[in-house]
Structure 1
């Protein structure tokens, strides 16, 4: 992608994907205490307001630099704060192909919001920005994320051995794909 991108507000069934705001710092603080999220993301673990603000600013910079779209995930209840992150990262060499990554804060897992957010983002990517292929990379132990991907129409396409760095170790991941009909 070239040039800055605009992160829209996407409304799905039971969720809203929206640009990050400084009101989302408490989510970043909570995610930093999760045993897994900081290992596979840039979420800070020190819990300081400064590092959490820097995280939010990095989410803004991704669109500004044309790297991708980073959304805060919130329930569709207007009073509810963000409960997770979902991002779409177009491939530089092939803008019709993109990867998606997401996390849900621990106390909100299991309620289906990840699936609703993933479905909303996939629909938008296929319809609004002409993506033809979406990919997810999921650790084999992450049963919740596997179920979420499959429920939203992603198909497991294979195992990529030692493909992702998780903390200090290279780990295997499943690659899931979904293509525009």
Structure 2
């Protein structure tokens, strides 16, 4: 199996790039957030080894062709401020899903919108992808507003769609088409 080739994408004042060991501080910050470890593979209260394992797993997604995991980094300083991914589980049906989080100290600056728009434009240029999907908890207004700013359309509510923190949760379904 040939690994996927991950580009670096421009996202206004940010760049989407592969994760590096120097991004450990961002992952450490995310690991103590009350929500991020519940809905991602970021370790909860991660120690150094777990944080470096998380960063390595992001690279391995290219090797197993499950998707692309990008660090969202400030274009000037290259400091990582969040994560965004394009997941290819359903690419055989022409669909991919996206997910993102912003480090707690970097929120409310338009970073998610900039990163999601760049990822979405690039993802919809992949020949096999015709539809991008997002699943967002209804209470997460910041996330669904970012999606709507990027041209995603809310298609409905998926009841009891996903387990989060040991409980089944409803999710809004959003899509953006080629």
For this structure pair, what is the TM-score category when the shorter chain's length is used for normalisation? over 0.9
Contact kept, 8 Å, 2:91 with 2:129, in 1: the verdict is no
RMSD: 1.4
Q: Which residue number corresponds to residue 5 of structure 1?
A: 4
Count of aligned positions: 178
Q: Which residue number corresponds to residue 160 of structure 1?
A: 158
* Alpha-carbon distance between aligned partners in 1 of 2:79 and 2:140, rounded to the nearest angstrom: 25
Q: Which residue number corresponds to residue 42 of structure 2?
A: 43
Q: Which residue number corresponds to residue 143 of structure 2?
A: 145
* Alpha-carbon distance between aligned partners in 1 of 2:58 and 2:115, rounded to the nearest angstrom: 17
Shift of 1:11: 1.1
* Alpha-carbon distance between aligned partners in 2 of 1:97 and 1:64, rounded to the nearest angstrom: 20
Distance 1:177 1:74, change over 3 A: same
Residues 84-113 of structure 1: per-residue CA shift (max 9 Å, x gap): 110001234625210000000111111001
Residues 1-56 of structure 1: per-residue CA shift (max 9 Å, x gap): x6421111111212100001001111110000111111111111233110000000
Contact kept, 8 Å, 2:96 with 2:129, in 1: the verdict is yes
- Deviates further, 16-25 or 87-96: 87-96
Under a length normalisation based on structure 1, what TM-score does the superposition of the two structures give? Answer: 0.94
Contact kept, 8 Å, 1:71 with 1:85, in 2: the verdict is yes
Distance 1:82 1:95, change over 3 A: farther
Under a length normalisation based on structure 2, what TM-score does the superposition of the two structures give? Answer: 0.95
Secondary structure in 1 matching 2:53: helix
- Deviates further, 31-40 or 83-92: 83-92
Of 65, 71, 82, 2:80 maps to 82
Secondary structure in 2 matching 1:23: helix
**Structure 1, unaligned stretches of length 5 or more?**
none
* Alpha-carbon distance between aligned partners in 2 of 1:32 and 1:121, rounded to the nearest angstrom: 24
* Alpha-carbon distance between aligned partners in 1 of 2:97 and 2:73, rounded to the nearest angstrom: 21
Residues 1:25 and 2:27 aligned together: no
Of 83, 100, 103, 2:101 maps to 103
* Alpha-carbon distance between aligned partners in 2 of 1:6 and 1:34, rounded to the nearest angstrom: 31
Contact kept, 8 Å, 1:75 with 1:113, in 2: the verdict is no
Moved over 3 A (4+): none
- Deviates further, 109-118 or 38-47: 38-47
